[in-house]
Structure 1
Amino acid sequence: MPGGSSLRLAMGISIAGSPTQHNGAVVSLPMTEPRTSRPANSARHFISGLGSGVTSAVLLQPLDLLKTRVQQSGSSSLSATLRDLRQSQSLVKSLWRGTVPSALRTGFGSALYFTSLNAIRQHAHQTGILGRRLQTQGRSSVLPSLTNSGNLISGAVARTFAGFVLMPLTVIKVRFESSLYSYPSIMSAASDIRRTQGWRGFFSGFGATAFRDAPYAGMYVLFYEMLKSRLGSLASKPVASGESPTRMQATLASSVNFTSAMFAGAACSIVSNPFDAVKTRIQLQPLEYKNIWHAWYKMVTHEGIRSLWDGLALRMSRKAMSSALAWTVYEELIRRAGAR
């Protein structure tokens, strides 16, 4: 069946009802599971995640710093924080304080997250343990497509794993951004944490971080994939009967991915903000806030429930933009790498 074989090799899929010649007779090819022509390996996902993470961290560092300053004390406000920063010798330098640990943490965190997420999704897609869907026309991504439950579970597991591995850099990043500490370098921060709290200090706030990141990442991947599917269907042309599904053009695909990531990030940040506020307090003042429940109780009783939503606008803005940048850059790098 030379005609059918060449079609399948060129497209990487078999088309239902697509006629082809076999010894002069016309036969129809059955619908089978579509395959990507060149599966991306782990190194490709690691490098793409690293690049997207560093890019978003550097560009959005001012928003992250302002959020940390607002959350470090219930009495701080955005206007007061900006007023204090204006009094510094260099406003630009102050806004980008902590960029190095932030870029390291976000860059390698994104690399680990995207690599582990892809591994989980590829395994689930191939084995069907979390369910899988056939790829449909109008997809803006070359990544595996899972069911809603598959997206929810894979996102939560991958983010929790990456968060645990990168927790020491997260603690250092938060302290660099805070006005409560004046570390001259990353090594001095690490040395001080080790001296005052031991190795356990590098994992301060992991409980709150896991409570924040697992639901956030799970819901994020779920919402992101749902929005991509909906927007992709709206943006793409219907496929006529007997025609093969086609990928979106790169520009349109990037627009769909960017918009989906931005709205998913903004929505999920609202739900997870209380855990982020608690995590910040534990990491900045571990002696005053001993664990997640103690910090939660103390913040609510002393400062009111509103303290759990400190920095929401800043975090929502940063999460929306960082998610949009990171996922759009990541998906585009993977698409280009797979096209070579």
Structure 2
Amino acid sequence: MKNVGQQMTSGALSGLTSTIALQPFDLLKTRLQQGDSIYHGKFQPKQLAAHSVSVMKAAREVLDTSGMRGLWRGTAASLIRNVPGVALYMTGLTQLRSIMSSSRYFTVPVIPDHPSTTHSSVLPKLTNTGNLVAGATTRVGVGLLMNPLTLLKARFESNMYAYQTLSGAFASVVRSGPTELLRGLSAASLRDAPYAGIFVVFYEAMKRNAALITIPTSHTQSSLLHSGSAAAAGALATLATHPFDVVKTKLQVRTENQYHSFISTARTIWKYRGIRGYFDGTSLRLSRKVLSSAIGWAVYEFILMSVWTSQ
């Protein structure tokens, strides 16, 4: 697990594949979550309830105004965010787990030459606690580095900004001051730390148990195992952390005073949308995360296993 270049390449290809295939899910999720707690400039909860946006309505609006290409608006911003972001995350996670696996507090015994060890995965093996710590730490670190691009991605996907080019959008954000570059970071960290920790714990546990039940004997079978395990883990982690995703999106795309902090944004959602407001766009994010996890981790592990077995 010392070949950082191979891990970066695998992660980048994983991010590239999932981003292009699943951008419409991200765009529609952002449109739903940007929501309006303000109706014609004033808080009107009753009118708001009557004007709630559905997935189909949001999709029709995009298709009517921009055609099919409109569903891929913001793809360039997503690629700039996700390709290096996924590469850094997967590589950082693998490297950190390699380091932690040398500690007796986090390592787990591995049966030498067992078929499930050879074909199920070549990634470092840790205890559940180790996987939780590694996933959360790596995700928050990468999120901090990539937050300006995450902000840019969210605003490009929103229809509340008239950005025409990435350079113009980035210049606009920079002009707003350094604090704007970290806007939404608190909510993103509260979402990403538990999401990544939960995901890695369940992903590794599901891979391990599935490999013991049905031992994979080829890379194809291993990829199916990785894909199914990642999809299930992604679903669990997404449902557990979705409210923080809603708060993050509103922080990054809304400019009204009540959306200037994590606490005020959470209060605003509760006051005018209730508990349902924290789950806007759940179906889209769930679909996107399940599919991106299934695609991304299958691609990442397939490439690493192919390289490992050819050496």
> Fold-level match, TM-score > 0.5?
yes
Aligned-partner Cα distance in 2 for 1:286–1:200: 14
Instruction: Deviation per CA, 1:197-235: give whole Å up to 9, x if none.
Output: 212111110000000000000000000001101111111
Question: What is the match of residue 303 of structure 1?
Answer: 273
Q: What letter is aligned with 1:43? A: G
Unaligned runs of 5+ in 1: 1-38, 237-246
Higher mean alpha-carbon deviation, 180-189 vs 71-80, is at 71-80
Aligned-partner Cα distance in 1 for 2:154–2:302: 30
Question: What is the match of residue 232 of structure 2?
Answer: 263
Question: What is the match of residue 242 of structure 1?
Answer: none
Question: What is the match of residue 225 of structure 1?
Answer: 204
Question: What is the match of residue 128 of structure 2?
Answer: 148
Of 130, 135, 138, which aligns to 2:116? 138
- Asked if structure 2 preserves the Cα contact closer than 8 Å seen for 1:40 and 1:338, the reply is no
Q: Which has the higher contact order (CA 8 A, sep 6+)?
A: 2
SS in structure 1 of the partner of residue 56 of structure 2: helix
User: In the alignment, does 2:99 pair up with 1:123?
Assistant: yes
User: In the alignment, does 2:13 pair up with 1:51?
Assistant: yes
Aligned-partner Cα distance in 2 for 1:59–1:211: 27
1:35-74 aligned within 5 A: 39-74=1-36
1:47-126 aligned within 5 A: 47-74=9-36, 75-89=52-66, 91-126=67-102
SS in structure 2 of the partner of residue 128 of structure 1: coil
Aligned-partner Cα distance in 2 for 1:69–1:250: 39
Structure 1 residue 293 displacement after superposition: 1.1
**Identical residues among aligned pairs (%):** 38
SS in structure 1 of the partner of residue 20 of structure 2: helix
Of 215, 218, 226, which aligns to 2:194? 215
Q: How many residues in Structure 1 have an aligned counterpart in Structure 2?
A: 290
Instruction: Deviation per CA, 1:250-302: give whole Å up to 9, x if none.
Output: 11101100000001101110011000000000000144311111110111012
SS in structure 1 of the partner of residue 116 of structure 2: coil
Aligned-partner Cα distance in 1 for 2:210–2:171: 49
How big is the alpha-carbon RMSD for the aligned residues of Structure 1 and Structure 2? 1.4
Structure 1 residue 132 displacement after superposition: 2.6
Higher-Rg member (1/2)? 1
**TM-score, normalization by structure 1:** 0.82
Aligned-partner Cα distance in 2 for 1:333–1:132: 24
Q: What letter is aligned with 2:303? A: L
1:11-30 aligned within 5 A: none
**TM-score, normalization by structure 2:** 0.90
